[in-house]
Amino acid sequence: MAGMTLLKKGAEAELYVLHWMGRPSVLKRRVRKAYRNPDLDAYVRSARTSNEAKLLSEARRLGVPTPLVYLVDKRNCEITMSYIASPPLKRLIPEMREEAIVETFKRVGEMVALLHKGGIVHGDLTTSNIISYGGLLYFIDFGLGERTSDLEPRGVDLHLMRRALESSHHEVSGIAYASFLKGYSHSMGSTSKDVVARAESIRRRGRYVEVGQRRDA
């Protein structure tokens, strides 16, 4: 397409800004990966493209702000959607005061609860995949999402958010995650306990985590 400028070259996809029917839009193209078997690569890219387009629309119906999908090209693994001209949460956090972090992550938790209650898990919850714009929190990158109400994928969502905070925002991760859980639990209701417990067990499962202060002689 004419008049496309590269916005970002991510790990999985390239993002271009363009005008579609006169509107500022983003084209997301999932590019071929030379390290993957060609058959596997074609399957992964096309499945994630249609999955993402579907979930972006379904999430918005649940009241979670997402970009509007204009066009899906399965063959080229491309989605054209509305452009939200604002940096991701990841870039804003270093400038945020503590009260703002508490407030923002409480709302992130409420939004994730809306998704979960509506039968959607995001599958890639990080601060790079949330955009704050016009007083709303937009959720993007639903390629790894699922339509499910199972405990396990819901727990994975919480686990991923916690780990994203710990690895990229370790100075504020404790307070941010606590606020996230507060918003999530409040909005999710009684089932939130099970999800939070599952997220804890995922963190411990088969891997090496301090459980209490266990010490062996």
Partner 1 sequence: MSSVQFILGLESTAHTFGCGIASSDGRILSNVKSEYVPASGGIHPREASQHHSSRAAWTIAAALNEAGLRLADISAIAFSAGPGLGPCLRTGATVARALSLMRGCPLVPVNHCIAHIEVGRLATREEDPLVVYVSGGNTIISAYAGGRYRIFGETLDIALGNCLDAFARELGLPHPGVPKLESLADEGSRFIPLPYVVKGQDVSYSGLLTMATRMIRECDTRDLCLSLLEVAYGMVAEVAERAIAHTEKPSLLLTGGVARSKRLQRALMSVCNEHSARFHVVPPDLAGDNGGMIAWTGYLALREGITVPVEESYINPNWRLDEVEVPWRG
Which of 88, 109, 123, 183 is in the footprint of partner 1 by CB under 8 A?
A: 123
Question: How many chain residues are in contact with partner 1, going by CB under 8 A?
Answer: 42
* Marked catalytic residue, from 124, 141, 150, 216: 124
Scanning residues 22 to 51, which ones bind partner 1 (CB under 8 A)? Answer: 33-37, 39-40, 43-44
Q: Which H/E stretch holds residue 192?
A: helix 192-204
Distance in angstroms (rounded) separating the CA atoms of residues 139 and 84: 11
Residue whose CB is less far from partner 1, 10 or 63: 10
The continuous run of DSSP H or E covering 212 comes out as none
Least separation in angstroms between CB 45 and partner 1:
11
* Contact between 146 and 120 (Cβ < 8 Å): yes
Q: Closer CB to partner 1, residue 11 or residue 21?
A: 11
The reply to whether 197 sits near partner 1 by the rule CB under 8 A is no
Binding to partner 1 by residue 205, rule CB under 8 A? Answer: yes
Say how far apart CA 190 and CA 113 lie, in whole Å: 12
Torsion of CA 106, 107, 111, 116, to 10 degrees: 10
Give 105-159 as a DSSP string: HHHHHHHHHHHHHTTEE-S---GGGEEEETTEEEE---TT-EE---HHHHHHHHH
Site for partner 1 (CB under 8 A): which residue of 73, 150, 171, 194? 171
Using rule CB under 8 A, residue 202 touches partner 1: yes
Active site residue 216: no
Tracing tokens 């940096």 back to the chain, one arrives at 87
Asked if 94 touches partner 1 (CB under 8 A), the answer is no
Q: Can residue 76 be called a binding residue for partner 1 (CB under 8 A)?
A: no
The span of 5-13, 21-29, 69-77, 186-194 binding partner 1 (CB under 8 A) equals 5-13
Q: At what angle do helices 192-204 and 173-188 cross, to 10 degrees?
A: 140
Contacting positions for partner 1 (CB under 8 A): 10-12, 33-37, 39-40, 43-44, 123-126, 128, 144, 153, 156, 159-160, 163-164, 166-168, 170-171, 202, 204-211, 214-217
Residues with active-site annotation: 124
